Amino acid sequence: MTATLETTVSSTVDAAVELAGIRKVFGHGSSAVVALDGVDLKVKPGEFVCLLGASGCGKSTLLNIVAGLDGATAGELQVNTSRPAVMFQEPALMPWLTAQRNVELALRFAGVGRLARKRRALELLELVRLGDAADKRPHELSGGMRQRVALARALASATVSADGSPALLLMDEPFAALDAITRDVLQSELLRVWETTNTAIIFVTHDVREAVRLGQRVVLLSSRPGRVVREWDVRDSSDEVLAEINTHLREVISGHAS
Amino acid sequence: MATPPDTLDKVGAGLDALDAPVEAHKPPVWRRFLKTGVPPLIAFALLLGVWQALWASALLPEFQLPAPVDVWDELVRSISTGEAFGILWTSLHRAVLGFLAAVLIATPLGLLIAKVRVVRAAIGSLLTGLQSLPSVAWVPAAILWFGVTPSTIYFVVLMGSVPSIANGLVAGIDQIPPLLPRVGRALGAGRLASARHILLPAALPGYLAGLKQGWAFSWRSLMAAEIIATSPQLGTGLGQYLHNGSSLNDINMVIAAIFLILLVGIGIELLLFRPLERAVLRARGLTGAL
């Protein structure tokens, strides 16, 4: 596992995503709220980065800016991958489409032909172990299965370009609404999928354990305004790192007590 | 990772088996018929019985309350001479054409109102207001504008059904969870692709409710227009047939006409809109109302 990681990290010098001095202000004048203030972040192709922070640190705002769903007030954003795919806390599947059609939708918007669409969708559903559920509609699936369909859809969207440019997956607390056992299974599922697809992932969470378990790197953001406080390399995660990150997160939160 | 991957795979598969919603068992056809088909038949039979009893009590003179058998004879007569089919065809093809035209006008109109703020502010409430205006009110004006011609009839039908259909579509679009169009944008859908693949299908239940109401309004408006605007060049539709019955003081004809009007209304609802609505709601897992 470690060997594959090192090759992917060192193989390309360029960053998959590069943020420099990203600032985001909501509203105008005296009621303006600074959500992000000078965020610098660099994600290498194939890297798994977890953004950690309490409520109001602008994690989701940052993700929306990278996804192109929202514009930054100031700063520079450079995305060197194909269109970033986004996964939200809710699966947000189209309730009138089967699992397979939901995955196909991402390919359809990219102009992929019918047959190729079908083949790729089944392939991706197989990857998240839902090959048998391709014809089921969202209401016939459990919460964990729905989120896996959403993962397959996001992967379809991230890996659609034919030129082989690196893919980027943005995940906004995708497992927060699931029960503990399902979350545990999905976390290992995500790691497996990440290892096989070699996609760069920016994963937003407020759960330190989840961040340390999944990520290669954990980036702690402060709240109101969001700034990068510290970064940890957690590839060889130990309990000390976990405790250290926890302490820092508590400090960031208790700074707002007054 | 402490647990080997194949164990986790098994745990995952087990979770899927445990957590996936269990499909409800479908009752056999005869039982469903017993549940949904028999009650209305009994109600109809009861109604006939009460009617027959009222007639037998002779409280009202025969020209006001006919015997069920006499109305039946009138129906059989008009059907066996082929008159009923001509009348039904005249009215039905007008209603269907008018309804289809209304769909073509109301769909882009509804999309505009739902998605363009200025348009909504300008005519949104007017459209809702039009819905509460009985379309009969347009008949006198339409006769002055178009004379007693098919144009008058189609105009009244359109004024009756366009607001319902457009309003249904607006309501359907307003009720789309905002996350769905966002997902569409994240997946790279343009405005048109988003409308075609996300907005319209997501708004389909509301749109369908609007279509259903729009059909009821166009059928109703058509009857009103046919009753008031009668002329030989318009031919005989159900409304004229009803009007003729009234002019001839023939209560059998009047009741037969009302029966045929109801029959068409219920028939279209049962044969077209009910199955359509059922399929759309079932596909979305909304089976509560069925």
Which range of residues forms the domain containing residue B95?
67-283
Alpha helices in A173-254 (DSSP H): 180-197, 208-214, 239-254
Best residue in A98, A109, A237 to probe B by mutation, most B CBs within 10 Å? A109
Q: Decide: A89 and A257 in contact? Cβ < 8 Å.
A: no
Instruction: Select from B84, B107, B213, B219 the least CA-distant residue to B170.
Output: B107
Q: Decide: A49 and A43 in contact? Cβ < 8 Å.
A: yes
Q: Which positions in chain A have a beta carbon within 8 angstroms of at least one beta carbon in chain B?
A: 67, 69, 83, 85-86, 88, 90, 92, 94-97, 105-106, 108-110, 129, 133, 137-145, 153, 157, 181-182, 185, 188-189, 192
Domain-embedded: residue B118: yes
All residues of chain A having their beta carbon less than 8 Å from the beta carbon of residue B198 are 94
State the pTM of this model: 0.78
Measured between its terminal Cα atoms, the distance across chain A in Å is 45
All residues of chain A having their beta carbon less than 8 Å from the beta carbon of residue B195 are none
Q: Give me B58's structure tokens.
A: 């002779």
Q: What is the pLDDT of residues A81-114, one digit of tens each?
A: 778 888 888 889 999 999 999 999 988 888 888 8
All residues of chain B having their beta carbon less than 8 Å from the beta carbon of residue A209 are none
Average predicted confidence (pLDDT) for chain B: 87
- Element at A221 (helix H, strand E): strand A217-221
Crossing angle for the helix pair B83-115 and B68-80, to the nearest 10 degrees? 90
Domain-embedded: residue B44: no
Residue A11 has pLDDT above 50, yes or no: no
ipTM of the complex, rounded to two decimals: 0.78
Q: What is the pLDDT of residues A243-252, one digit of tens each?
A: 888 888 888 8
In whole angstroms, what is the distance from residue A23 CA to residue A20 CA?
9
Domain-embedded: residue B152: yes
Q: Which of B16, B179, B201 comes nearest A92 by C-beta?
A: B179
Instruction: Work out the percent of chain A whose per-residue pLDDT is above 90.
Output: 12
Domain-embedded: residue B158: yes
Give the CATH number for residue B266: 1.10.3720.10
> Is B188 in contact with A110 (Cβ distance < 8 A)?
yes
Domain-embedded: residue B123: yes
Residue A60 has pLDDT above 50, yes or no: yes
Q: State residue A188's pLDDT score.
A: 87
> Is A139 in contact with B284 (Cβ distance < 8 A)?
yes
CATH 3.30.70.420 corresponds to the domain A15-81+199-208+218-258: no
Instruction: Select from A171, A199, A198 the least CA-distant residue to A186.
Output: A171
How many distinct structural domains can be found in chain B? 1
> Is A109 in contact with B197 (Cβ distance < 8 A)?
yes
In whole angstroms, what is the distance from residue B258 CA to residue B266 CA?
12
Q: State residue B208's pLDDT score.
A: 92
Domain-embedded: residue B269: yes
Tens place of pLDDT for every residue, chain B, 290 residues?
455 666 777 787 888 888 777 776 777 888 888 888 888 899 999 999 999 999 999 888 888 888 899 999 988 998 899 888 899 999 999 999 999 999 999 999 998 998 888 988 888 888 888 888 888 889 899 999 998 888 999 999 999 999 999 999 999 999 998 889 888 888 888 888 888 899 889 999 999 999 999 999 999 999 988 888 888 778 888 999 999 999 998 898 899 999 999 999 889 988 999 899 888 888 888 876 55
Alpha helices in chain B (DSSP H): 5-19, 29-36, 38-57, 68-80, 83-115, 117-132, 138-146, 150-174, 179-186, 191-194, 200-228, 238-247, 251-268, 274-283
Residue of A nearest to B189 (CA): A109
- Find all residues with CB under 8 Å of A103, minimum gap 6, and list them: A120, A121, A124, A125, A149, A152, A153, A156
Q: What strand order describes the sheet that includes A48-52?
A: A85-87, A168-172, A200-205, A48-52, A217-221, A228-233
> Is B20 in contact with A157 (Cβ distance < 8 A)?
no
3-class SS of residue A48 = strand
